[in-house]
Structure 1
Amino acid sequence: MNDLFRPVRAIKFPAIGAVSVIRAAGPAPPGPGEVLVGAEFLGICGTDLHVLHGQHPWVRPPLIIGHECVATVLAAGEAVGFAPEARVVLNPLVTCGHCRACRSGHPNHCATAKVIGFRLPGAGRTRFVVSAAQLHAVPAGLDPRLAVLAEPLAVGIHAAGLAADLDRILVIGSGTIGLYVLLALRAQGAGAITVVEPIAEKCLLALRLGAHAAIAPDQVGETAEFTTVFDCVAAPATLDAACRMTLGGGAVVVVGVAEAARQIDLPRMQRFEIDLFGSGMYVPADIDAALAALTTRMIDAAPLISAVRPLDGAQAAYAEAMRPDSVKVLIDMR
């Protein structure tokens, strides 16, 4: 049997709170429009951790996890524009391609979309077959450990692009996504950016990445001061603060994922004509923009990498990703 199709190693959550590296069935040969890739690095996402600990609203173990992935093309079916050995980044959002949202250039609005690693088998496998339509070419010279950051960075780029007035910015939460929003805002030429974050180490990292100020949640005032507020937590208290701290005519962009319905101060939002945006993942162009920004060093995301761990150490890697001061832990899948 061709070595490309032999059994693979994969990261599985067999039950809530459990991480295993298993031996799984090997991939089938790629068909028309498909590509067989070999994973290089896998990023651990906050949503992965929610699934692992039974905190995700609709995804539960057991499953093979992983959606932040940089890989190398090993073989390709017919009508594929990627040659063997090309390096690619995965777009895990699989959409129908023919609904109104998809046809209008907003595949992130597709009502039947599914995400690899949650509703579809994950990329946490040493080799797997995927549609070529889900892949983005990595520019020559970009370190794969940075290229794997393109998918989460695209979340920040998409969110930052929703608001028009970037004069005075508040970013609530400097976890992984909050820091990517910060980097994207800096690259877009935003004015003064204040970050709200309870963990001192992450406040320092936000300042290192270009925030003009980093404050604790109890330092948030009562008077509106900001033209746009990005809520990267989406808790009741943070959403209330976001609405309160936005100036008239400004905008609140909710990037964090709420596990339940939220209330907002609608009278104030209406009286002062404050826009409320929900930011849902990204479109393919955002991933391309992320790859370009990482390649040109317009965005330096290297400080966000907390650790790189081997596949055999996957269990410890997910535990490390849970640490309050951790940002992005990578797993070397090679």
Structure 2
Amino acid sequence: MLSVICESPGVLRHEDRELPVRADGEVLLRVRRVGICGTDMHIYSGNQPYLQYPRVMGHELSATVVEADPGAHVTSGDTVYVMPYLSCGHCIACRQGKTNCCVNIRVLGVHSDGALTEYLSVPAQFVHRAEGVTLDQAAMLEFLAIGAHAVRRADVSAGQRILVVGAGPIGMAAMLFANLRGASVTCLDTRADRLAFCREHFAVSTVQAGSNDVEDLSALTDGEFFDVVFDATGNIKAMNRGFAFIAHGGKYVLISIVPGEITFSDPEFHKREATLLGSRNATAEDFETVLEAMRAGRIPDKALNTHRMSLSDVPTEFPKLLEPGRTVVKALVEC
């Protein structure tokens, strides 16, 4: 079967691999679509903190079932999505239902080989029917679920002022689900094209990051700033700077992850009685939230899917996604 390997930072190549052998309790899948996300970009660029090379990337996927155990909840021919966070089920996080931050987590495409391949065998508990959505939509569930999880973690409510810093796919997902909760959403980003996309497809105000952005954000909120600030930049300077945008009594949610240390002024943080939250991955509840919104037509998924390529073209086409001016939101690989 055809697979695409990230051999080392900046190096992608084809490899012909043996078909995976399905173990008991696993589901053999024919991969159909794979979403390319920021994690894959970081792997390719060499700045993903949890990874060893070589690696088959790809953790946003839809597939059809080839084979499963008799009596399993999925059967041959079913269209499915995969929760790519392979949790252990027994650690302190899993016992609390927080499988998204399992102590022993293995994420497909990061800790183990992922979906940029034709066939994949996955433990059955992580495979779910994609009822009422297309293959394209099912491959977009995961990144949208990350945004939905962050919004749920912050307990966003109607009427709150929300700032999303970073207008990439994860930031857009946070905007979408904050909007669906009735919040007033503002997006801050350096890129005018991304801000224009957000204005067109989401009900948000936008501010371009620059020398006057603090004054602009202050003016939008009568000087009070934001009840919840989400960082989705993956940029340590932006993450440190975001503390200044929290309203008194507000929350700061770090969806981003960077290899480094986050620092902030304790007097400024303390006087606000601010809350700092990490938000990692998503749970089954968040995937269901996204599915419900998709089925109701509340997700502009066709607009989000800005680029496509075939699996065989990934080594040549993937690097182009990082080129300036491409305005990539979500690229889908057709397998």
8 Å CA contact 1:32–1:80 kept in 2: the answer is no
What secondary structure is seen at the aligned counterpart in 2 of 1:39? strand
Match of 1:242 in 2: 242
The alpha carbon displacement at 1:161 in A equals 0.9
The alpha carbon displacement at 1:274 in A equals 0.9
The alpha carbon displacement at 1:12 in A equals 0.7
The alpha carbon displacement at 1:120 in A equals 1.1
**Of the candidates 102, 120, 130, which is equivalent to residue 112 of structure 2?**
120
Does 2:15 correspond to 1:13? no
Matches within 5 A, 1:194-273: 194-218=186-210, 219-221=212-214, 223=218, 224-273=224-273
The amino acid of 1:24's aligned partner reads R
Match of 1:46 in 2: 38
The alpha carbon displacement at 1:282 in A equals 0.9
The amino acid of 1:44's aligned partner reads I
Matches within 5 A, 1:280-291: 280-291=280-291
**TM-score, length-normalised on structure 2?**
0.92
8 Å CA contact 2:74–2:128 kept in 1: the answer is no
The amino acid of 1:155's aligned partner reads I
The amino acid of 1:181's aligned partner reads A
Percent same amino acid among aligned pairs? 27
The amino acid of 1:146's aligned partner reads Q
8 Å CA contact 2:156–2:181 kept in 1: the answer is no
Residues 208-229 of structure 1, C-alpha deviations (whole Å, 9 max, x = no match): 2224311111132165411111
Ranges in structure 2 where 5+ consecutive residues have no aligned partner? 219-223
The alpha carbon displacement at 1:79 in A equals 4.4
The amino acid of 2:35's aligned partner reads G
Instruction: Provide the alpha-carbon RMSD of the alignment.
Output: 1.6
**Of the candidates 175, 181, 187, which is equivalent to residue 188 of structure 1?**
181
Distance 1:9 1:134 in 2: 23
Evaluate the alpha carbon distance shift between residue 253 and residue 129 of structure 1 in structure 2; reply closer, same or farther with a 3 A threshold. Answer: same
What secondary structure is seen at the aligned counterpart in 2 of 1:47? helix
8 Å CA contact 1:136–1:288 kept in 2: the answer is no
Does 2:60 correspond to 1:58? no
Does 2:141 correspond to 1:150? yes
**TM-score, length-normalised on structure 1?**
0.92
Distance 2:44 2:125 in 1: 28
Distance 2:307 2:9 in 1: 24
8 Å CA contact 2:236–2:260 kept in 1: the answer is no
Matches within 5 A, 1:97-112: 97-112=89-104
Distance 1:236 1:310 in 2: 34
What secondary structure is seen at the aligned counterpart in 1 of 2:76? coil
**Of the candidates 317, 328, 331, which is equivalent to residue 333 of structure 2?**
331
Across the two proteins, how many residue pairs are aligned to each other?
323
Match of 2:78 in 1: 86
Ranges in structure 1 where 5+ consecutive residues have no aligned partner? 1-7
Distance 2:188 2:302 in 1: 22
What secondary structure is seen at the aligned counterpart in 2 of 1:309? strand
8 Å CA contact 1:139–1:295 kept in 2: the answer is no
**Of the candidates 168, 171, 176, which is equivalent to residue 164 of structure 2?**
171
Match of 2:60 in 1: 68
What secondary structure is seen at the aligned counterpart in 2 of 1:162? helix
8 Å CA contact 1:41–1:145 kept in 2: the answer is yes
Match of 2:310 in 1: 310
Distance 1:203 1:294 in 2: 23
